[in-house]
């Protein structure tokens, strides 16, 4: 369970959801603007008041470390769990997290302050066992790991059952890229190449393409251009300026370039597949 960015009120949304607080162990912050990090201290406080003991890891731009530690010392000094700050170099693409099934890399972005996105990749998984074939050949459970690892199975009479008969191919590893906030970066397409789901900010519509450049934000059409050039499977756009009364304008402009685009909506769930 990962959290990416933590604006004001995040703890309230989390409480309204069915997500277990303790399963959240990693929070990734893209940049030090309030709408992306002002909920962090409240979240940490609430976890503390609820008696959390499991450590919480915060990955955030290095520039945030000094103030964050002062805030923790002042506001969150009496809780029973550790909050570990991992300073992130937002100028490089590098792996900053790894466990047995996932890696997380930074994606350098261009915003008014140090800012990066995050790229989540599943590691390749093992093939699936074909249970009916295991039963058919009466293969003991003790052999499952060997067969998943690619071995054939030799029957008592010496017959070799080929591995391909006993397994189905592994699921292809999935990838999710989160890019917020950023000026349009054509070179992003290489970094997020062929991910299953790309979240890309779309603050503006075509009418404000100059403003987008000036304020280091993107238009919906620019987000879709990255998605198209990267040949991603799905694009999710969000972070819309309040100047637009109807987000469907942004959706429409994005879909003209990349049809498989969806609007990020409050509390909506999306599958990475």
Residues noted as catalytic = 35
Q: What is the DSSP letter of 206?
A: G
Give the nearer residue to its own copies in terms of CB position, either 64 or 116. Answer: 64
CB of 101 to its own copies, least distance (A): 33
How many C-beta atoms surround the C-beta of residue 35 within 10 A? Answer: 14
Token readout for 227 is: 């998605």
Give the nearer residue to its own copies in terms of CB position, either 10 or 167. Answer: 10
Interaction between residue 214 and its own copies (CB under 8 A): no
From 29-37, 128-136, 176-184, 196-204, give the range in contact with its own copies by CB under 8 A: 29-37
Token readout for 205 is: 């519509």
CB of 6 to its own copies, least distance (A): 11
Taking the CA atoms of 226, 231, 237 and 239 in sequence, report the sign of the dihedral they define: negative
What is the C-alpha separation between 86 and 222, in angstroms, rounded? Answer: 31
Q: Report yes or no: 34 and 61 within 8 Å, Cβ to Cβ.
A: no
Please name every residue paired with 197 in a beta bridge, in sequence order, or none if there are none.
Answer: 176, 234
Give the nearer residue to its own copies in terms of CB position, either 42 or 211. Answer: 42
What is the C-alpha separation between 76 and 43, in angstroms, rounded? Answer: 11
Give the nearer residue to its own copies in terms of CB position, either 15 or 128. Answer: 15
Binding mask 74-113 for its own copies (x = CB under 8 A): xx--------------------------------------
Residues 6+ apart with CB under 8 A from 123: 100, 101, 102, 103, 173
From 5-13, 100-108, 177-185, 263-271, give the range in contact with its own copies by CB under 8 A: 5-13
- Residue from 16, 34, 210, 266 touching its own copies (CB under 8 A): that is 34
- Whose CA is closest to 222, among 244, 241, 200? 200
Q: Which of residues 38-57 bind its own copies (CB under 8 A)?
A: 38-39, 41-42, 45
Binding residues vs its own copies (CB under 8 A): 8-9, 11-12, 32-34, 38-39, 41-42, 45, 67, 70-71, 74-75
């Amino acid at each position: 369970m990962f959290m990416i960015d933590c604006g004001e009120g995040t703890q309230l949304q989390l409480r309204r959801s069915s997500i277990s607080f303790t399963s959240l162990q990693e929070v990734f912050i893209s940049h030090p603007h309030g709408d992306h990090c002002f909920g962090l201290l409240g979240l940490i406080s609430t976890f503390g008041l609820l008696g959390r003991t499991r450590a919480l890891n915060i990955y955030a731009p290095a520039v945030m470390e000094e103030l964050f530690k002062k805030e923790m010392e002042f506001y969150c000094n009496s809780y029973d769990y550790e909050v570990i700050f991992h300073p992130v170099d937002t100028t490089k693409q590098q792996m900053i997290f790894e466990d047995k099934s996932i890696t997380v890399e930074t994606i350098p972005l261009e915003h008014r302050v140090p800012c990066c996105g995050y790229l989540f990749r599943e590691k390749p998984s093992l093939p699936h066992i074909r249970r009916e074939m295991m039963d058919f050949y009466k293969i003991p459970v003790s052999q499952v790991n060997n067969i998943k690892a690619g071995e054939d199975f030799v029957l008592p009479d010496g017959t070799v059952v080929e591995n391909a008969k006993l397994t189905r191919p592994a699921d292809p590893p999935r990838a999710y890229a989160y890019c917020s906030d950023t000026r349009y970066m054509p070179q992003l397409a290489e970094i997020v190449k062929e991910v299953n789901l790309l979240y890309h900010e779309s603050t503006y519509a075509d009418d404000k393409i100059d403003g987008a450049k000036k304020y280091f934000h993107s238009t919906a059409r620019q987000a879709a251009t990255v998605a198209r050039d990267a040949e991603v499977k799905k694009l999710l756009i969000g972070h819309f300026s309040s100047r637009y009364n109807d987000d469907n304008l942004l959706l429409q402009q994005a879909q003209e370039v990349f049809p498989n685009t969806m609007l990020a909506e409050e509390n909506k769930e999306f599958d990475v597949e």
